[in-house]
Structure 1
Amino acid sequence: MNWTAKELICSLVEKLYLYLGWLLNQEVPKIVKSINRQLREKSIKTKIGEFSVLKELVVEKALNLGSGFYTIFSSASCINHISQDKSSTSNLKIEALIFTRLVMASHSPSVFHLYIEVLSSPILNAVSERYYKVTHAFSVIASSPLKIDLSCVLDHVIAELTTFLRKAFSVIASSPLKIDLSRVLDHVIAEFTTFLRKANRALRQATLGTLNSLVAAYGDRIGSSAYETITVELSNLISDSDLHMTALALVLCYTLMSDKKCSPVVCLTVRYKALQNFFADLVHSANTSFDDLLDSLLSSVKPSPQSGGLAKQALYSVAQFVAVLCLAAGDQKCASTVEMITSILKDDSTTNSVIARQSVSKAGQAEFQATRVEKILKLLFNYCETEEEGVRNAVSECLGKIALIDLAKLVPALKVWTTSPAAFTRATVAIAIKYSMVERPEKIDEIIFPEICSFLMLIKDHDPHVRRAAVLALSTAAHNKPNLIKGHLPELLPLLYDQTVFKQELIRMVDLGSFKHIVDDGHELRKASFECVDTLLDTCLDQVNPSSFIVPFLRSGLDDHYDVKMLSHLILSKLADKCFAAVLAVLDSLVDPLQKTVNRKPKQDAVKQEVDLNEDMIRSALRAIASLNRISGGDCSLKFKSLMNEIMRSSVLAEKFNSISNE
């Protein structure tokens, strides 16, 4: 082929392309009219497809507003999907916004003058949307030839200004670039401390984290007045009525105290307001002393005529604080404190005796082992068979903690009791092992490792209380020490899965005189078992075969009692994320219980609590369905596709589903 022929072919192709473009332009009005009609249909996928076609036509420059394309904007279809149409999904709104941006960027401003008011409102509404749709709304504004008043945008943003500021300074403080904030630092901290007085709990929590980052990064540049302002506000947040907020406040207190330039006023305030929760670190601070901290702890438990004594849990906490304080102070302080505790123990009339009995430090363990263990064990095992579950749990905790001290003696002794003829005793020793498996490495791990199966195999005991105790022990091991159990999981998992199934033989009728009450003795066991599976999916996923669990065991949980269902929904979402192939393989079998749950209506005479629980259960099921929809695309199963269509046809369910999908 010579060059003349090639040039001829290129010329023909070019003309053919232009001709096809001309033909397409001739059909544009018909295409637009058809698309406009389709946008009024209910199918979300169809609408998304229509916007995709429109975007391609804009990109190919086959569309212009003069060729009939104006009908899209003059109708309500496009505008409704940009605005807060509850039937629209996030993807549909995004497609409409992107399409609008492309049109605005490719046309002269004059052609939009008729549509300024129509377009401005929905675009500005989209700015206030959650999730990433807001970025597309701003893109439309940025590329818009319209005179959209940016002050309107600020009206939408100003409500979130506090959040933006907090996040911005939190990122800056955490940045390795060490950006200089000295010019605005005191003003910023003064502003943030005012947030600690706001009613919004989430704002207060986030502000504490941001302040902690700022103090940690710029502590040497913060003035003493700013420090004192923070401390005053923190003192109002430290309360036993909100332990999470208290914990965050105490973290910030510790960061404040770590700064060498911390003023005496701050140290005094922190010492008396936040002493009980971070004394182990404070004992090394130059701003306070061991004796002051110990005196403050002991004086905090003395009863007063106005308030009486502290609650039992508070006494237990203070006892732990005394022990940790002694360990942090060193051997000399430990010895003197143990001597003081020993003298207090001889005087049972004092409140401090309660503290002393629970505060034995490592320095006093030798004496404790020699004189106390045998007597204490005898006393504890006398209470193993009590009907009161709280007492049995207390006995289990004591046995587990003593095992950490005298491991060579306690672990073999507990193993012997696993064969006790008394069910409550077997359950007690299983829970005791749970309390001995703490997160940090301990010498007891080496002794428990070859023996742990003896305790966990109680999961096949004939008594449901014993089986539940063994499941709880397995769950704790999976969370704290997964390496202790991985070798036993092939044998344990089938037994665990069997505990998740509803068993009719565990249902009994209790006669209460005027009426009869149905009791499900297997409910707590099933709940604990699903919780254990959830933990195993986080720590031992490589040991779990999801296919053998999903059907029939997870399928059974999806049709169980309220709180078991909630756990099953959570596990299903997790499996969809981590093991999607196994989930897709049995997707059809999961549809019926999910469909039943989302369509469940509370009884007409249901109280508010029952209505709220039902609402939570529906949202939980929809969250699981959303996870399934992400991995299936809604097309791999006709049964699941039918469920999705049913949800989208219901305005109530569709609104909830869309809200959950955007979380």
Structure 2
Amino acid sequence: MSMLAMMMNYVKIACKDYSDDDDISWKVRRSSSKVLAAIVGTRHELLSQLYQSVAPALVNRFKEREESVRVDVLQTFIVLLRQTLVYGGESYVTRENDHEPKRRRAIGPSESQESPKQMLRNLVAKLSRNLSKQLLSKSIVTKQTGFVLLRELVTVLNGGLDNHLNTFIPAIENSLSTSSDVSHHHSSTNSNLKIETLSFLRQLFKVHPPQVFHNYLDRLCRPIISSVEDKFYKITSEAFLVCIELVKVIRPIEYNVQTKTYNVQTLNPSFRSYILDIYNVTIARLSTTDADQEVKERSIMCLGVLISQCGDNLKEELKVCMPMLLDRLRNEVTRLTTVKTFTSIADSTVCASEEVKQAVIGAINEVAVLLRKSHRQLKVASLVCLEVFVRRYGNFLGPASYSRVLEELTPHISDQDLHLLPLALNTVVSVLRTNPQSLGAVYKDILPSIFQLVQSTLVQGAALDSLLVLFETLIATNEADFNKLLNGLIQPALVAEPGQLTLSKQAYSTIAQCIAVLCVISQRNCSSTVNDFSKKISDQKQSDSVKYLSLLALGEIGRKVDLSKHANLHVIILSLFSVPSEDIKSAAAFALGNVSAGNVGKYLPIVIREIKEDPKKRYLLLHGLKEIISRYSNEEGVKALGPFADDIWNILFDSGENIEEGTRSVVAECLGKLTLANPNKFLPELQKRLRSISAQTRGTVVTAIKFTFINQGQGYDELLRPLIVDFLSLIQDNDLNVRRLSLSTLNSAAHNKPYLIRDVLNQLLPLLYEETLIKEHLIHMVEMGPFKHKVDDGLDIRKSAYECMYTLLETCLDKLEIYNFLTRVVEGLSDQHDIAILSHTMLIRLARVAPTAVTQRLDEAVEPLKGTLTYRMKDNAVKSEIDKNNELCRSAVRVVVTLAKLAEHGGSTPKFDAFVRDTKVGQWGEQYNAYHIELESKEFGIGHGGDTMDLS
């Protein structure tokens, strides 16, 4: 550290100004800026220190008289900004069609005055003064680099120029009005300057409140709109993207997350001329037949935003432009963009004119037919568009349009594409809600596919949610069809053979959830349905398939409806705990738990009594208890479970000893969720048991903490934060199983709540790295008949440790000391198959975010990678072993291709260079070339020596 401090001090001295007499000091200053760039690009843990000492020096040197040095100084500051974006804590993203920036999930604690971002904010005023002067200089390269710097600045700070915008207005005007007719060279450089200026403006508009720009619209709109008319298509294309954001600034429409409504502001009459100017230049470009493809698409996008944001102020203009959009919809080249544009127009809150209505009526059949195309993006866009058309303009559509829509939707009601499926189901729901008369057509065309779909093993997540909404809508549309829908759902279970389940468990669960939706909506049919299922589960003649579905359905209904008036229901369910079928017993535990959740006061004492009195049923009863606790692991649950909490707590710990690991996992989940119900009481209780002499208890406790990470409340996090190290320190426990469970909990914390562990990683990382080491005392030989087999008891722990490292690399990158981390990754390259593949993945990721550090270790990676690629399988190896080895080799080749790209711009790596040459012409040469082409096509953004990382 002291060496680094001295180096930084020398560099700052070198950056001082010198006299003009015989000045060759610019070479020293340029070299010093490159050294600073290398430091900034590789030592992210010093960000705060860099902002204290280096950043002010760089800002002062923006006035550098030598152009090449000035550009290097600006580039160094850009590297600092990019490092801050990745390692500086919270960051933001914006999406193309959003009205406001969306905040990423916080990956760290709130910013303090000493945080890198706050120190950067404190520098903005001085930076703006110094940089604005350079942006008015004659040097085009300086201006271009300056606008790149500004774009990175507003991205990192999610704004930041609110009070300094006037400083940059002259430079923006100057850069966008620069003539490009002097010479070919100047034309090229001026075009690049314009593109960078426009790119900066686009980001500037995205991340600042619209009101900030309203006083400057006259000076901003003219040069932006004139850029749309530029002869160079790239400038025009970028200018259209800026116009899209500019329209949102002129007429902001903000979405209120709390009320789920749009806040529409009236367009300032003095701004209408800007909207008309943008409209006119957009229509002019859209009417040009020989325009570049990108320009065509972005002009359509711009027109869509104009209409969706300001359509109520363009009533006459809509008569001209809506027919034009319909024409573009029929054009194969522009139809995808036009479909998306129609979606935004139809969904607009300010544009519901007759012209738009007629255009939607004319477009709906065109869009529906596009579902037949093989172009997947077009299908997705068309389904989204159809749902919006039907939802917003369904009252104006005729029976023929509805019939066509349902006809085209039918092929997509299947599990062949699970991304298209929920979109198709949502559209059917909108059809039913806007036109209940379509119910007959839905039953005829769609319902047979639905009954087939519920039997799929793949329907879950968004697809399942949409399916449940569809059944809810079907029964709400016509409650008289209850039995018809119920029988259709039950039918697949009735054809099962005795003693076995013919559908997958996922299918039974899907069907049960659909039945529960029907019962919740149709209360008058609910009681009779529950009675019917009760009879089925107690009927000895019924097949296991029917009983299994009946139990799941009772559980799903009981979760939503109080079934306590069915007096003997729990007795019937409990009687099934002793049947031979494990599936039926598991379903009975699920049913008991969820029925109990519907009325805790009645059923929970029964469950507790049964656990105490009947040890043979304890495992199943604990599963039932888990269902109850899961329902009440929130603030409401404190009151509901309060009277029984102590009893449950003691029962769980009594059950945690001397039982199989599967049961302990259930106990741990119950403990974790019970802790969430009352953390003030139970979190200290868990902490006390960390010192238990029983390894089983310690393992249960550390696993229980893992199940609390599902909680999203700040209050619980504040209670857990000071205790988290105590729990995770069990990584160094004497018991192997406890160590493995602790690593799993650390991995879960890193994935779900990284902010809880970020500040204590310096204590946890040494323990984690220790578990990545191969420990010889855990390896022993096992004799299996005439054969001897080597068994490594530490393998599972090492694998868990590397999985944890992988997660930390994604969520806590700024808290990792890259060189130590990289050492363990390189060691993992020669470990067992799964660990080696994880190490390959991490090395590729590190090549992107820390290229300089990886470049320095390229030669070290040669031996393990070569060992993987040259390993010869035994002659008697089975196919699964061969496939596994080939997978590992392909993964290694991908790493070599990635690192070779780094080596092109790095230092001297003779050993690695020779290895790459051998790989290109060796056994894996063809695979190398294939991955190389793939990498080139993705435009892999590795920086040159770590100076210009692509962190987009």
Per the normalisation by structure 1, the TM-score is 0.62
Report percent identity of matched pairs. Answer: 28
CA deviation digits over 1:327-371, x for unaligned, max 9? 9xxxxx999734553586578999998886444354776574434
CA deviation digits over 1:209-266, x for unaligned, max 9? 4414544666636933453333321322324x72x33445423313424658855588
Alignment partner for residue 918 of structure 2, among 615, 632, 646?
646
Distance (Å, rounded) in 1 between the aligned partners of 2:528 and 2:805: 47
Distance (Å, rounded) in 2 between the aligned partners of 1:246 and 1:304: 32
Alignment partner for residue 464 of structure 2, among 220, 242, 250?
250
2:424 alignment partner in structure 1: 211
Distance of aligned partners of 1:549 and 1:234 in 2 relative to their CA distance in 1, 3 Å threshold: same
> Aligned pair 1:170/2:380, yes or no?
yes
Q: Is the 8 A contact 2:413 2:446 kept in 1?
A: no
Give, in angstroms, the shift of residue 640 of structure 1.
Answer: 3.6
> Aligned pair 1:522/2:798, yes or no?
no
2:873 alignment partner in structure 1: 602
Alignment partner for residue 190 of structure 1, among 407, 424, 439?
407
Q: Is the 8 A contact 1:594 1:621 kept in 2?
A: yes
Distance (Å, rounded) in 1 between the aligned partners of 2:687 and 2:526: 41
CA deviation digits over 1:156-178, x for unaligned, max 9? xxxx9966354313213435995
Distance of aligned partners of 1:404 and 1:308 in 2 relative to their CA distance in 1, 3 Å threshold: same
1:152 alignment partner in structure 2: none
> Aligned pair 1:373/2:646, yes or no?
yes
Supply the AA of the counterpart residue of 2:380: S
Give, in angstroms, the shift of residue 516 of structure 1.
Answer: 3.9
Q: Residues 589-628 of structure 1: matches in 2 within 5 Å? A: 589-628=860-899
Further displaced range: 418-427 or 491-500: 418-427
Distance (Å, rounded) in 2 between the aligned partners of 1:314 and 1:568: 47
Distance (Å, rounded) in 2 between the aligned partners of 1:528 and 1:586: 24
Distance of aligned partners of 1:410 and 1:635 in 2 relative to their CA distance in 1, 3 Å threshold: closer
Distance of aligned partners of 1:232 and 1:628 in 2 relative to their CA distance in 1, 3 Å threshold: farther
1:227 alignment partner in structure 2: 442
Distance (Å, rounded) in 2 between the aligned partners of 1:472 and 1:317: 34
Task: Give the secondary structure class of the aligned counterpart of 1:606.
Answer: coil
1:564 alignment partner in structure 2: 835
Alignment partner for residue 753 of structure 2, among 478, 481, 487?
481
CA deviation digits over 1:459-516, x for unaligned, max 9? 1223332222211111111222222212211211222122122121221233556544
Give, in angstroms, the shift of residue 208 of structure 1.
Answer: 0.9
> Is there any run of 5+ residues in structure 1 with no aligned partner, and where?
1-134, 136-159, 328-332
Task: Give the secondary structure class of the aligned counterpart of 2:459.
Answer: helix
Distance (Å, rounded) in 2 between the aligned partners of 1:563 and 1:162: 42
Give, in angstroms, the shift of residue 389 of structure 1.
Answer: 2.5
1:308 alignment partner in structure 2: 544
Supply the AA of the counterpart residue of 1:503: K
Supply the AA of the counterpart residue of 2:814: D
Q: Residues 287-298 of structure 1: matches in 2 within 5 Å? A: none
Distance (Å, rounded) in 1 between the aligned partners of 2:730 and 2:512: 40
Q: Residues 93-492 of structure 1: matches in 2 within 5 Å? A: 164-174=374-384, 186-187=403-404, 189-194=406-411, 196=413, 203-212=416-425, 214-215=427-428, 220=434, 223-228=438-443, 229-239=445-455, 242=457, 244-257=458-471, 259=473, 262=477, 273=489, 274=510, 276-277=512-513, 305-308=541-544, 319=555, 322-323=558-559, 337-338=599-600, 341=603, 345=607, 357-360=625-628, 362=632, 366=639, 368-371=641-644, 373-374=646-647, 376-386=648-658, 388-441=660-713, 443-492=715-764
Give, in angstroms, the shift of residue 313 of structure 1.
Answer: 13
2:855 alignment partner in structure 1: 584
Task: Give the secondary structure class of the aligned counterpart of 2:691.
Answer: coil
Give, in angstroms, the shift of residue 303 of structure 1.
Answer: 7.5
Alignment partner for residue 816 of structure 2, among 544, 549, 563?
544
Q: Is the 8 A contact 1:502 1:556 kept in 2?
A: no
Distance of aligned partners of 1:517 and 1:355 in 2 relative to their CA distance in 1, 3 Å threshold: closer
> Is there any run of 5+ residues in structure 2 with no aligned partner, and where?
1-292, 294-369, 490-509, 564-594, 936-952
Task: Give the secondary structure class of the aligned counterpart of 1:412.
Answer: helix
Number of residues of Structure 1 aligned to a counterpart in Structure 2: 492
Alignment partner for residue 806 of structure 2, among 528, 534, 541?
534
Distance (Å, rounded) in 1 between the aligned partners of 2:549 and 2:919: 47
Q: Is the 8 A contact 1:458 1:466 kept in 2?
A: yes
> Aligned pair 1:658/2:873, yes or no?
no
Give, in angstroms, the shift of residue 430 of structure 1.
Answer: 0.9
Distance (Å, rounded) in 2 between the aligned partners of 1:628 and 1:314: 57
> Aligned pair 1:555/2:772, yes or no?
no
Distance (Å, rounded) in 2 between the aligned partners of 1:341 and 1:271: 28
Supply the AA of the counterpart residue of 1:224: L
Give, in angstroms, the shift of residue 400 of structure 1.
Answer: 1.5
Distance of aligned partners of 1:359 and 1:382 in 2 relative to their CA distance in 1, 3 Å threshold: closer
Q: Is the 8 A contact 1:417 1:426 kept in 2?
A: yes
Q: Is the 8 A contact 2:519 2:557 kept in 1?
A: no
Distance (Å, rounded) in 2 between the aligned partners of 1:381 and 1:289: 42
Q: Is the 8 A contact 1:634 1:641 kept in 2?
A: no
Distance (Å, rounded) in 2 between the aligned partners of 1:370 and 1:208: 45
Q: Is the 8 A contact 1:303 1:309 kept in 2?
A: no
Give, in angstroms, the shift of residue 299 of structure 1.
Answer: 7.8
Per the normalisation by structure 2, the TM-score is 0.45
Distance of aligned partners of 1:172 and 1:424 in 2 relative to their CA distance in 1, 3 Å threshold: same
Q: Is the 8 A contact 1:510 1:519 kept in 2?
A: yes
Give, in angstroms, the shift of residue 412 of structure 1.
Answer: 1.6
Distance (Å, rounded) in 1 between the aligned partners of 2:728 and 2:405: 55
Give, in angstroms, the shift of residue 455 of structure 1.
Answer: 0.5
Give, in angstroms, the shift of residue 580 of structure 1.
Answer: 2.8
Give, in angstroms, the shift of residue 560 of structure 1.
Answer: 0.6
Q: Is the 8 A contact 1:530 1:564 kept in 2?
A: yes
Distance (Å, rounded) in 1 between the aligned partners of 2:659 and 2:789: 20
Supply the AA of the counterpart residue of 2:723: E
RMSD: 4.5
Task: Give the secondary structure class of the aligned counterpart of 1:604.
Answer: coil
Distance (Å, rounded) in 1 between the aligned partners of 2:598 and 2:697: 39
CA deviation digits over 1:435-474, x for unaligned, max 9? 1221532753332222111101111223332222211111
Distance of aligned partners of 1:501 and 1:259 in 2 relative to their CA distance in 1, 3 Å threshold: same
Q: Is the 8 A contact 1:439 1:481 kept in 2?
A: no
